[in-house]
């Protein structure tokens, strides 16, 4: 469902040019769980951002369900992104002044839904991640693992086909990290495609496929479990 053809990305600042990705060819099929691994600065987050339509490649093409997005305008891309992808980050990115339920509703504000419908979907998403009893808390009243669950609820509330997670367990201890992995594996088993950046080899061995990145290039793949 996601195809990157010959994708390169260069970051330019006043003085420096960084070739962050070089000639990437990558396909992710519906239902897969893919882990992107590689040393710091090798281009993993850049790759995840291109897959999730948060950024555009300098060269090459990105296709979602057979449609090349290169010719799409920014508004069309934003709508496609909102419907296709849910995002989870290492540092949760919850809004501290909003209650848990209101954080989870945020991605739905861009859809034409009533307040009641938004609340119902947010409740369902929070129940799905095991936080049905914490809806009226504020983020700082929750543990790190619980905050990441709220972030996952926010990522899945709009029923995206694909979850993109950038080091989702990076700020958690190993027990909480393993619980977040359990949840991501469960969502994948229920049909959500997952692409995750991780530095943790043990974690990566639980997913379907490991894609290794080095110096802006794909340098190896391991198929571990069938999708």
Ligand X SMILES: Nc1ncnc2c1ncn2[C@@H]1O[C@H](COP(=O)(O)OP(=O)(O)OP(=O)(O)O)[C@@H](O)[C@H]1O
State which residue, 21 or 155, has the beta carbon closest to ligand X: 21
Q: Does residue number 14 form part of the binding site for ligand X (CB under 6 A)?
A: no
45-104 residues near ligand X, rule: CB under 6 A: 45-46
Count of helix runs (H) and strand runs (E) in the chain = 7, 10
Q: At CA 147, angle to CA 89 and CA 45, rounded to 5? A: 5
**Strand 33-37 vs strand 59-64: parallel, antiparallel, or unpaired?**
unpaired
Among 6, 11, 76, 225, binds ligand X (CB under 6 A): 11
Q: Does residue number 41 form part of the binding site for ligand X (CB under 6 A)?
A: yes
Minimal distance, residue 77 CB to ligand X, in Å: 18
Q: Does residue number 212 form part of the binding site for ligand X (CB under 6 A)?
A: no
Number of Cβ within 10 Å of residue 137's Cβ equals 16
Number of Cβ within 10 Å of residue 38's Cβ equals 21
Minimal distance, residue 70 CB to ligand X, in Å: 20
Minimal distance, residue 87 CB to ligand X, in Å: 14
Q: Are 60 and 47 in contact (CB under 8 A)?
A: no
Q: Are 186 and 207 in contact (CB under 8 A)?
A: no
Tokens of 164: 């993109």
Q: Does residue number 18 form part of the binding site for ligand X (CB under 6 A)?
A: yes
Q: Does residue number 171 form part of the binding site for ligand X (CB under 6 A)?
A: no
Q: Does residue number 20 form part of the binding site for ligand X (CB under 6 A)?
A: yes
Distance CA 127, CA 124 (A): 5
Q: Which stretch binds ligand X (CB under 6 A): 13-21, 25-33, 179-187, 219-227?
A: 13-21
Q: Are 152 and 100 in contact (CB under 8 A)?
A: no
State which residue, 107 or 168, has the beta carbon closest to ligand X: 168
- Total residues in contact with ligand X, by rule CB under 6 A: 12
Structure-token match 């281009």, residue found: 43
Q: Does residue number 44 form part of the binding site for ligand X (CB under 6 A)?
A: yes
The footprint of ligand X (CB under 6 A) covers: 11, 13, 18, 20, 38, 40-46
């Amino acid at each position: 469902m996601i195809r990157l053809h010959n994708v390169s990305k260069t970051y330019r600042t006043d003085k420096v040019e960084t070739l962050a990705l070089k000639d990437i060819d990558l396909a992710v099929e519906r239902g897969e769980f893919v882990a992107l691994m590689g040393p710091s600065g090798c281009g993993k987050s850049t790759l995840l951002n291109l897959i999730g339509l948060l950024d555009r490649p300098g060269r090459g093409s990105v296709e979602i369900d057979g449609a090349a997005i290169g010719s799409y305008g920014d508004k069309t891309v934003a709508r496609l992104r909102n419907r296709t992808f849910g995002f989870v980050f290492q540092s949760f990115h919850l809004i501290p002044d909003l209650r848990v339920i209101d954080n989870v509703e945020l991605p739905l504000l861009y859809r034409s839904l009533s307040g009641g419908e938004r609340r119902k979907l947010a409740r369902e998403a929070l129940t799905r991640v095991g936080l049905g009893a914490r809806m009226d808390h504020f983020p700082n009243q929750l543990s790190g693992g619980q905050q990441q669950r709220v972030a996952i609820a926010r990522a899945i509330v709009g029923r995206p086909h694909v979850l993109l997670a950038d080091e989702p367990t990076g700020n958690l201890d190993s027990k909480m990290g393993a619980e977040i992995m359990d949840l991501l594996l469960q969502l994948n088993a229920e049909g959500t495609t997952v692409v995750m950046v991780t530095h943790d080899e043990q974690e990566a061995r639980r997913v379907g496929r490991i894609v290794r990145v080095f110096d802006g290039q794909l340098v190896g793949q391991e198929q571990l479990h069938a999708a």
